[in-house]
Amino acid sequence: PSSAVTVVAAVAITTAALDNGLGQTPPLGFNPWNCFGVDSRGGCKLVNPHLPPPGCHPFNESTILSIAEALVRTGLRDAGYEFVNLDCGWTTGYRNLTTGRLIVNREKFPHGIAWLADQLHAMGLKFGIYASASKTQCCSRKYGPSANDGSYGHEKTDADTFASWGIDYLKYDDCEPFAESYKVMRDALNATGRPIFYSVHGPVGAEAVGLANAWRTTSDIDNTWGSFVKRAVLNDQYAAHAGPGGWNMPDMLEVGNFFDPSLGNAESRTMMSLWAIAKAPLLIGTDITLDRDPSDSTLDILGNAEVIRINQDPLGEQARLVHTSGASQVWAGSLDGGHRVLAAVNGDNSTAVDVTVDLSALFGEATFVARDVWKGETWKEPVSGTVTLKVDPHDTLLLRLEP
């Protein structure tokens, strides 16, 4: 089977980024929620067959330190993954009655947050934390109606606290949010004088430009093909609003989490490709400390330097979905220096497909040197006009095209 490409009009980047000097390229790092998250009912965000029942454990000080050490040991830190972030679950659910400051859960983080930040900084990493624009953080609802660890009404106190702890990144969640809290927190962070990357879940697209360095464009993801492909498509509609200083974020990576149904390397390559060309933040959401089967390419996929280079391209232009045919998709975009990126996605889980692409319709009458990014191979013959690309089941052919 084959599919032919039609062209969508180019979309101009019209961003006016948050004026804090951060996020000139999308952030790379780790967030524990997709692999270690425990929801307000005590359920696992991900049931991991590598772990004993129930298949997950709440993240804590030792978990975060182990992840940080693995980032260094595996070379992922040096590949660009510099942030190690906390998600919901680091507080007791309450504030100090006298100071109004958040109370750290000392069972999970016995040395406190500032100490943990110091450890990560000493490893050459940066440290992120979680808060919400609400009265209660999402997972703290399990503590009952008196829980009060949301940042609404406490933005200045929390921003000052985060800065004093050495925080470098804030994920600011919704959890029945108060819309005005996002701007109040932005201003409170800026007033601390500490550079803190500001990522929000709530405002999106035009309303997020100038407000944050990254914004969620979708609801929570899970470790299925349908979930991440749907979110890549939803994220596409906000392309005009993203660029250096402010990025669309279709949630965190599930690369390495494709356990059930039987998903693996091909799906991980596809997700990594779609997030990279979208210039989305690349936040690892799998347990990189696991002793994985030799056939598991998770670490190689996450650490692929050529894919990361596309994500970190200084032009900062989000590639667009330009064609769908059945289960196949074609995505295309521009890179710095007149280079282009092309991704052909096979949504069929059982059969390889031929995807036919008219390069001249997408990029004009030009001839390119094609580089297969995942194979690390440059094609012997230059390409122009119409090309036919064979793509394996649930895989993606990712090409960097150099004029």
pLDDT tens readout for residues 249-301 = 999 999 998 765 445 899 999 999 999 999 999 999 999 998 888 889 999 99
Q: What pLDDT, on a 0 to 100 scale, did the predictor assign at position 227? A: 96
Q: What pLDDT, on a 0 to 100 scale, did the predictor assign at position 172? A: 98
**What DSSP line would sit under 298-342, residue for residue?**
HHHHHT-HHHHHHHT-TT-PPPEEEEEETTEEEEEEE-GGG-EEE
**pLDDT above 70 for 3:** no
- Given pLDDT bands bounded at 50, 70 and 90, which one contains residue 51? confident
- Given pLDDT bands bounded at 50, 70 and 90, which one contains residue 9? very low
Considering only CA atoms, which of 121, 143, 146, 127 is closest in space to residue 135?
146
Distances (CA, A) of 364 to 7, 237, 386: 11, 24, 12
Q: What pLDDT, on a 0 to 100 scale, did the predictor assign at position 16? A: 59
Q: What are phi and psi of 102, to 5 degrees?
A: -65, 145
Give the pLDDT mean for 316-345.
Answer: 97
**pLDDT above 70 for 2:** no
> Starting at the edge strand that comes first in sequence, how are the strands of the sheet with 328-334 ordered?
320-325, 328-334, 340-346, 396-402, 369-372, 377-378
Q: What pLDDT, on a 0 to 100 scale, did the predictor assign at position 56? A: 83
Distance, CA of 312 to CA of 140 (rounded, Å): 35
Identify the H or E element spanning 247. strand 247-249
**pLDDT above 90 for 352:** yes
Helices (H) and strands (E) in the chain, counts: 11, 18
- Given pLDDT bands bounded at 50, 70 and 90, which one contains residue 6? very low
Q: What pLDDT, on a 0 to 100 scale, did the predictor assign at position 165? A: 98
Burial of 53 (0-12, 13-18, 19+ CB in 10 A): exposed
Q: What percent of the chain shows pLDDT beyond 70?
A: 95
- CB 114, CB 164: distance < 8 Å: yes
Bridge partners for 377 per DSSP: 372
If DSSP codes are grouped into helix, strand and coil, which group holds residue 403?
A: coil
What is the set of active-site residues? 173, 220
**How is residue 265 written in tokens?**
């390397």
Q: What pLDDT, on a 0 to 100 scale, did the predictor assign at position 355? A: 96
Alpha helix positions (H), 76-172: 76-79, 113-122, 155-165
Distance, CA of 263 to CA of 150 (rounded, Å): 37
**pLDDT above 60 for 11:** no
**How is residue 205 written in tokens?**
């697209």
